[in-house]
Amino acid sequence: MIDSLPNRPVPRWLHVWAIATVVVAAVLLLFGEMVTTLRAGMADPEWPTRPWHLALESKEKWTAGYLVEHTHRILGFLVGGLMSVLALGVWAYEPRKGLRWAALVGLVALLAGFGYFHGQMMAQINAPTVHLPFPSTVATLVPLAFVAGVCVAALRRPTPGTAVRVLAVVALVAVMVQGLLGGLRVRLNELIGTDLATVHGTFATLVLALLITIPVLTARPVDVVLPEETRRKLAWQTVCLVLFTLVQIGWGALVRHMPDRISTRMHLLFAFVVVGFATLAIKQAMIDPATRRRFRTVTTVMMAIITLQILFGIEAWVGKFMTGESLELQKAPPVGQAILRTAHAHVGAWILAVGVVFALLARRSRPQVVGPEAESSLDWQSTPARYAAGGVRSPA
């Protein structure tokens, strides 16, 4: 099934599907950030609901916050469906028949178990308290454990595309967890609603960053050779950029949901740290002509969104903290401020996502071989597995 695809671990249509999943997930994240900005998280206290729930409700309920919240939920269903097809699709091209069928059966059972879980949660929609239904929880966790075992078995003896297949499973589970976090944020609002909203918002950026790795790894491989010193520096600089951006997003979520003196100061401090590591990585990528060609697109995008983020951040900060009004007394912001705050949060998520792409591109390059080993390194046919595992195209 995979022999006719020497340059990709999966067919092109799955690469396009992965891109579509990222696009819809980005729109989903945007609507989630609008929910926070408009303080519409409890616009509808009922959860879970079906995708067509909005059409069944009276139009008298269709306030701006209500429509944004339910659009967010509908997009969540759509991302879940797209990710389910993607996970099944990439495993359908696993070359080892036993692992392929084990993964497909396990994934179908996992999706069925999660659907059963959703149905049992629906039965509690009018209950004063919520609890995790035991039968459907078991029906979800058992297939999940089985699929995890299949992934471990695949990783022990990897083939081209193993990383993509494992990441697809991780992304599918992350989407499920994110949906559950969003629902529990509604159902447990009086107990820990704000805390869960913070976790839900931060985890959403992680999910987007995870999803964007799949189009990168399913793209047509390109053999790129970088000087060893450049490759090494780019590796640690981009990893630091990703890690500190994630920390910065966490502080930003606290500022949006429950601001205090510590979170506001740390959010401002880590903004400088993120810009610093982004500058280091961009500078390193622009030094050598080979790296400049390889990273031109990602560095240009990173510079653009960093610049936008600084501008949005300043305006959002002034609109939130420089009004002279107590934060506890502030109502939903005016339209202009709502757009700025939402844009600031959304661009922050893209800094993390582009940082992940930057790190992956650096990781997929090969070090330049200098000296006596250079000649032998050209014998690519003797080590095809190394090229396949690294996701690069052979010189043939």
| pLDDT per residue of the chain (396 residues) written in tens, 0 to 9 | 443 444 678 899 999 999 999 999 999 999 999 998 888 877 777 777 777 777 767 777 778 888 888 899 999 999 999 999 999 999 999 999 999 999 999 999 999 999 999 888 877 777 777 778 889 999 999 999 999 999 999 999 999 899 999 999 999 999 999 999 988 888 887 677 678 888 999 999 999 999 999 999 998 877 667 778 888 899 999 999 999 999 999 999 999 888 888 999 999 999 999 999 999 999 999 887 778 888 899 999 999 999 999 999 999 888 877 766 666 556 667 778 888 999 999 999 999 999 999 999 888 776 665 544 444 444 433 344 444 444 444 333
Distance set, CA 363 to CA 3, 51, 177, 237 (Å): 25, 40, 28, 12
In whole angstroms, what separates CA 306 from the centre of its chain? 19
pLDDT of residue 366: 66
50: left (phi over 0), alpha (psi -120 to 50) or beta: beta
Helix ranges, 92-133 (H): 97-122
pLDDT of res. 384: 42
Question: What pLDDT score does 328 carry?
Answer: 58
The label of the residue with tokens 């967890």 reads 177
| DSSP-derived secondary structure for 248-273 | HHHHHHHHHHS--HHHHHHHHHHHHH
Per-residue model confidence (pLDDT) at position 375: 44
pLDDT of residue 171: 98
Rounded to 5 degrees, what are φ and ψ at 130?
-120, 140
Do residues 181 and 203 lie in contact, with contact meaning Cβ atoms separated by under 8 Å?
yes
Q: Which amino acid is at 177?
A: V
| pTM to 2 decimal places | 0.86
Nearest CA to 189 among 328, 28, 43? Answer: 43
Cα distance between residue 24 and residue 333, in whole Å: 26
Q: Please, where are the H alpha helices in the chain? A: 12-37, 53-56, 64-91, 97-122, 134-156, 162-187, 189-218, 228-257, 261-287, 289-321, 335-364, 373-376, 384-390
Say what the pLDDT of residue 383 is: 40
Q: CB of 237 within 8 A of CB of 291? A: no
Which of 50, 86, 105 has the alpha carbon at shortest distance from 172?
Answer: 86
pLDDT at 50: 72
pLDDT for 329: 53
pLDDT at 376: 44
Domain spans, the chain: 1-221, 225-322+331-370
**pLDDT value for 190:** 67
Residue 366: phi, psi to the nearest 5? Answer: -110, 145
Q: Whole-angstrom Cα distance, residue 28 to residue 77?
A: 10
Contact 33, 348 (CB under 8 A): no
Distance in angstroms (rounded) separating the CA atoms of residues 34 and 345: 9
